Amino acid sequence: MILGRAAPFTPLLIITLRTIAIVALAMVALFPLYWMLVIALTPTGLGRQVMTFFPTTPTLENFVTLFADRPMARWIWNSILVATLASAISLAFGTTCGYALSRLRFRGANLLLIAVLTTQMMPATSIIVPLYMLFRAWGLLDTMQGMVVGHISLVVPLAIWMSKGFFDSIPTDLESAARIDGCTHAGAFFHVALPLAVPGLAAIFIYGFVTSWHDFLFSRTLVTSQELWTAANGIASFRGEYFTLQELQMAASLVFAIPVVVVFFVMQRWIVSGALSGSIR
């Protein structure tokens, strides 16, 4: 009975506390982003003197400078090109390898999977020197193709694991049914397995895109010409030995974040749960 009387207040209290906690966490998470915006809207050279939470004389001159005086558009385009190609090619590799590892039974399959995973255990810094030597021998240094290949090597191992996991979750009976219904092995893959794996493939694409987009080490090491820099490389160039163009750096960082957000929102609609429900039992 006591519980019965107390019950109407309990959910309200919980909701209030939960809301306070969420707002506090959101503020902690979003404050750096907000501060980036404040600095980006501050006139060039005055970023260090900002003492208020709101910009006193907001200006877009830093954004204008980025695109008018600096090759920011070029760097962003390079990043988009490299990230899109690297994630798309990784997706193609990951999907086919993952499907094969999920469906084919052969000796050494588990060993192969572990070997693929082992490559993820190596820090990028430890493979950059051998990669540099390889790329020099292959003539891939200071080329966009080289950077794409480098990023693929970063993304593919996890893409294989992720896609194997997604294909494992699709009952093989669906493909068996498709083969009886008139499909070849490949037809069953394209008509049944692939459409059902779309949420997983979207997740792999996002992972590949973000990994490539954020890469600094490879683009800094494998590319030297300024016109081939990716945006990450370009943003770093605002930091000098004695002086940092903070306002430009913050403005560039905000611009840099936009494509990833767009990609995430575009791909998000493919990431739906329960795609398989109703297929069996």
Partner 1 sequence: MASVEFKSITKRYDALDVLNDVDISISDGEFVVFVGPSGCGKSTLLRMLAGLEPITAGSISISSEVVNALPPRDRDIAMVFQNYALYPHMSVGHNIGFPLRMVGTPKPEIERRVSEAAEMLGLTPYLARLPRELSGGQRQRVAMGRAVVREPSVFLFDEPLSNLDASLRVRMRGEIKRLHQRLGTTMIYVTHDQIEAMTLADRIVVLRGGKVEQIGTPLELYNSPASPFVAQFIGSPAMNIFEGTMDDECFVRITETRIALGTRPSGISSGAPLLVGIRPHDVALGDPGRGTLSGELQLVEEMGNARLLTIQVGGTSVQIETQHQIALLPGATVHLTMPPEKLHIFPK
For residue 120, what are its two tokens?
Answer: 């993820």
Q: Which of 96, 176, 226, 244 binds partner 1 (CB under 8 A)?
A: 176
- Site for partner 1 contains 130 (CB under 8 A): no
**Distance of alpha carbon 144 from alpha carbon 219, whole angstroms:** 9
Instruction: Please state the closest distance from residue 262 (CB atom) to partner 1, in A.
Output: 26
Q: Tokens 């430890």 — which residue?
A: 126
CA gap 244, 236 in Å, rounded: 10
CB of 184 to partner 1, least distance (A): 7
Q: Is 71 in the site for partner 1 (CB under 8 A)?
A: no
Q: Is 174 in the site for partner 1 (CB under 8 A)?
A: yes
Q: Given the complex with partner 1, which of 225 and 273 has the nearer CB atom?
A: 273
Phi/psi zone of residue 80: left (φ > 0), alpha (ψ -120 to 50 degrees), beta? alpha
Q: Does 104 bind partner 1 (CB under 8 A)?
A: no
Q: Is 271 in the site for partner 1 (CB under 8 A)?
A: no
108 scored as a contact of partner 1 (CB under 8 A) = no
Q: What is the DSSP letter of 54?
A: S
Angle in degrees, 0-180, between the axes of helices 144-168 and 198-214, rounded to the nearest 10: 150
Taking residues 196 to 225 in sequence order and writing x for each that binds partner 1 by CB under 8 A, - otherwise, the string is: x-----------------------------
Asked if 274 interacts with partner 1 (CB under 8 A), we say yes
Q: Can you read off the two tokens belonging to residue 181?
A: 């219904």
**Rounded CA gap, 137 and 133, in Å?**
6
Q: Which of 241, 253, 178, 244 is nearest to 216 (CA)?
A: 253
Give the x/- contact pattern for partner 1 in 133-172, rule: CB under 8 A. --------------------------------------x-
Cα 93 vs. chain centroid, distance in angstroms?
Answer: 17
* Binding region for partner 1 (CB under 8 A): 171, 173-174, 176-184, 187, 191-192, 195-196, 274-281
